[in-house]
Amino acid sequence: MSSPRKLTILYGSQSGTAQDLAEQIWRDSKQYHLRGSVAAMDEYDIGQLIEERFVVLVCSTYGQGEEPDNMKRFWRFLLRKSLPLDSLRGMWFGVLGLGDSRYPKFNYVAKRLHKRLLQLGGQAMLPVGLCDEQHDLGYGAVFMPWINDFWKRLEELSPIPDGLKQLDESPREYRWTVRRSEEPVAEQEEVDMYADVKVDNVFVSEVEENRRTTPEDHFQDVRLITFPRRDANWTAGDVVYVRPHNSPEDVDRLFELFEEHGLNLHKDTVITVEAIDSELPVPPILAKPLPLGRLATQYWDLTAIPRARAFAVLARTCPNELEREKLLEFASYEGQEELYSYANRPRRTILEVLRDFPHACDSLTLAALFELFQPIKPRAFSIASAAASGKLRILVAVIEYRTKLKEPRRGLCSNWLKRLQVGTKLRMWTRKGTFQLPKDVTTPIVMVGPGTGLAPFRAVLEERELSVDATGPLVLFFGCRNAHADFHCEEDLRRMERSGLLTLFCAFSRDQEDKVYVQHLIRKQGDLLKKLLVERNGVFLLSGSSKNMPEAVCEALGEALGDSAYVEEMKKSERYQEETWQ
């Protein structure tokens, strides 16, 4: 049995948020004089689990209740029927889930993990924590009180040794040691920035076409971007991942900020990142000396909304009392509503926060930068084409909107994709999407895809169009503002409609005085939907914005079928599936 004063922290996440919270737990554990390590679940030697005394497991739920990629091997091991039911009898654990209550299987992975650990003899230190992205205060609304309760319970089970006391703050100020380097760095390709991508199907492609599908005078810029297929393979419903770069303007703003505060940090300043100890190793992506310009362009997310941790880092060395007091308020649990109003509601970026706290910027260090700036996370896009077409296409709405702040808010990835020129090379990788399509191609499929929610269904339709097999009924409810402005892929859809492959219903919300949305059309097609979904046991797929549309569509389908309980049964059997985003 391992030392009672050891805490092992494991995480599983598609987005990286679970890793961020796991590292925060690890850092805070130093206040309680605990040792231990942080690792992705699939990188942890699971054979050691039976030796652990205290473990925290942080995990997110993906798609239709699936575990994240970096948790799959760990989870498969735990599900082995050969494992004795007292395997983990000496282990105390806490499970923290990261989820979104818009989805039917909210925090499904965390709930299953908690239950399985109990089945194997583990003892829960406290109920599973169910963080909800939809809460006004985000994950912190559940995480902060949950982790405080966890520390109290841990102290009951394993008190701090005599002669020591709980520290007011973590002695582990930063994760790594960061130094300037005199070692010259040769020009390197973007491949360096993908050293942490743990998938085996990364491939290089280039932009073949980057076409705007909406008129120049339309309020939204939507792009259909085409890449040659290259060495990739996929099926309808799958997604492709890319990792965007910051805009040159934001990179310049960062280094102008450094110059204003006399930090002597330039784009060509080369740094090395070194592990302080084995508990938190340096990720492969940072293993070699790198110039700050490359980090600022390809690694640090300069558009991210800072979390509470960033304000604690700024407060630590801030020489100005008023600034420090405000920073500490934002970093505290009691100050989370204020932080939400300051940062989350107006979507204030970390660069803008640094400008708001000039005295804190005066004392920035290289090590602090790696705490302030979150790594750029890969973004997923539904693939809008069939592999048999020889082209990989994505349909991207370029995000730009205004808040109370002077500068408009711009989506990092969509604006980066918008700027890509024909011939630009980039690395990509594919993975299974959230939709589970029926194996029997004669099964009816009813699809609802307003706006760019059309993307995965264009792939479904093109795959069927290029297939030699007979296909079942395919119905699409598409919605947009105007038939002449944002009817994406109209030529493709009309062609498929004429051929008899597709039954198409279009809701153009602004083309008449009374707005018409997809849910209005669904209500009118009760006879057709009963035939396809009830009599023929078809599937219903919905893709698009998570704001109001999914709930309205679900209600409309219940009315069309005359049986809302049947819709709920469809959800349970995964014949009703959603893929939505904010």
> Within 13 Å of residue 510, how many CA atoms lie on the same side as its CB?
9
> Does 414 carry a binding-site annotation?
yes
> Does 382 carry a binding-site annotation?
yes
> Does 90 carry a binding-site annotation?
no
- Whether residue 313 contacts residue 372, with contact meaning beta carbons closer than 8 Å, is answered with yes
> Does 146 carry a binding-site annotation?
no
> Does 567 carry a binding-site annotation?
no
> Does 16 carry a binding-site annotation?
yes
> Does 170 carry a binding-site annotation?
no
| Gap between the Cα atoms of 117 and 500, Å rounded | 52
> Does 510 carry a binding-site annotation?
yes
> Does 259 carry a binding-site annotation?
no
- Whether residue 532 contacts residue 472, with contact meaning beta carbons closer than 8 Å, is answered with no
> Does 61 carry a binding-site annotation?
yes
> Does 62 carry a binding-site annotation?
yes
Contact residues for 339 (Cβ-Cβ < 8 A; gap 6+): 308, 311, 329, 330
> Does 518 carry a binding-site annotation?
yes
| Gap between the Cα atoms of 139 and 305, Å rounded | 14
Radius of gyration of the chain (CA): 25
> Does 480 carry a binding-site annotation?
no
Neighbouring CB atoms inside 10 A of 204's CB total 13
> Does 515 carry a binding-site annotation?
yes
| Gap between the Cα atoms of 71 and 339, Å rounded | 32
> Does 138 carry a binding-site annotation?
no
> Does 47 carry a binding-site annotation?
no
SS3 362: helix
> Does 220 carry a binding-site annotation?
no
> Does 546 carry a binding-site annotation?
no
Neighbouring CB atoms inside 10 A of 13's CB total 24
Strands 209-212 and 379-382: unpaired
> Does 516 carry a binding-site annotation?
yes
| Gap between the Cα atoms of 297 and 132, Å rounded | 31
H runs (alpha helix) in 306-441: 308-317, 321-331, 336-339, 350-356, 358-362, 366-372, 412-419
> Does 517 carry a binding-site annotation?
yes
> Does 379 carry a binding-site annotation?
yes
> Does 2 carry a binding-site annotation?
no
> Does 13 carry a binding-site annotation?
yes
> Does 581 carry a binding-site annotation?
yes
Backbone angles phi, psi at 274, to 5 degrees: -125, 140
> Does 54 carry a binding-site annotation?
no
Positions at the binding site for FAD: 347, 379-382, 411-414, 581
Positions at the binding site for NADP(+): 452, 509-510, 515-519
Positions at the binding site: 13-18, 60-63, 133, 347, 379-382, 411-414, 452, 509-510, 515-519, 581
Positions at the binding site for FMN: 13-18, 60-63, 133
